[in-house]
Amino acid sequence: MAIRRVSKSASQRVSEAIRADSEASRLPGKLLKRAFFEDAPERVAPRLLGKLLVLRTSAGVMAGRIVEVEAYLGPHAQPADRAAHSHRGPTPRNQVLFGPAGHAYVYSIYGLYFCMNFSCEREGHGGGVLLRALEPVAGMEQMARNRGLPPFSFATAKEKNGATTRKGRGNACELTSGPGRLCQALGLTREKHNGLDLLDPKSTLQVRDDGMRVTRVLVTRRIGIRHAVELPLRFALAGNECLSGPKNMEGKLIFVRSGRAGRLLR
DNA sequence: GCAGTGATTTGCT
DNA sequence: GCAAATCACTGCG
């Protein structure tokens, strides 16, 4: 199967732009608008594919391209989405989901890890999109430190796929392929990052659009949940090396003829 | 496959 | 109040 992913030169350009100047005004691409998130999670989720998650820290800038997400529907959804944290209504933990769209909802799970959602829909609705995997773009050295992995140089997804990976060289995707892993790689915690506005130019955590065009999106059931397992609400860049979960998951492939992920499922 | 881990919520009294 | 159940995960065997 042919694999569609970011061209190496595009990734390098992004990486170099970030390294050259970490000022907000010089970050790659443009900040998304609030309206982007003020829609149903199942429509926001596929549009997020290909966008960049950018985190500025004192140690430098880390960035990853969003390659896998899941939509979690608010309490008013038909049918009810019992897998969603918000399905019973607001609680102290999930209040960010019921706030304005475009904010980070970070929660701890199994006492060991954190996961992050983006709030969607209008205030009070409780919809969200879970980030399941990123393709690392910048700050891989810091990500490896955060993950407790050895500081060897990481092969890019393209190198790995081209079988040019040298022995002893890790795959960059190991850093961020999974909802817990990506939070650990970026150092995201509930204490520091829950509730951050992803659309504020001054925010340390942003979602940006560098114009990458998405052409093939895989839609499958969600992973690792007990309730509402049948809903097709997991969206991924088809064939991307950095996806989490089983590689042989059945799903539907959607071809995006218009080019923009934002035109999906409209 | 399954153990480890702790925050969160629910369901009792 | 307190105990029990739940949990959208990861790493290891």
Query: How does pLDDT run across A33-70, given as a tens digit for each residue?
Result: 999 999 999 999 999 999 999 999 999 999 999 999 99
Q: Are strands A205-209 and A234-237 parallel, antiparallel or unpaired?
A: unpaired
Separation of A226 CA and B3 C1' (Å): 19
Residue A90: pLDDT band (50, 70, 90) is very high
Q: Are strands A128-138 and A60-72 parallel, antiparallel or unpaired?
A: antiparallel
CA distance A252 to A22: 39
**Strand C CB-contacts below 7 Å:** A 70, 72, 83-86, 109-110, 112-113, 115, 117, 128, 130, 147, 178-182, 222-227, 244
Q: Which two tokens stand for residue A24?
A: 């907000």
Say whether the CB atom of A88 is under 7 angstroms from strand B.
yes
Q: What is the mean pLDDT of chain A?
A: 87
Q: How many helices (H) and strands (E) does chain A have?
A: 7, 12
Name the nearest CA neighbour of A108 among A97, A94, A121, A119.
A94
End-to-end Cα distance, chain A:
27
Nucleotide nearest to A93 (CA to C1'): B8
Residue identified by tokens 């392929």 is: A177
Of the listed ranges A17-21, A76-80, A221-225, the least confidently predicted one is A17-21
Average pLDDT over every residue of A111-138 = 97
CA distance A24 to A49: 22
Q: Using a cut of 0.75, tell me whether the model's pTM lies above it.
A: yes
pLDDT of residue A166: 41
Residues of chain A (220-249) having a beta carbon less than 7 angstroms from strand B = none
A11, A233 Cβ separation under 8 angstroms: no
Separation of A112 CA and C3 C1' (Å): 22
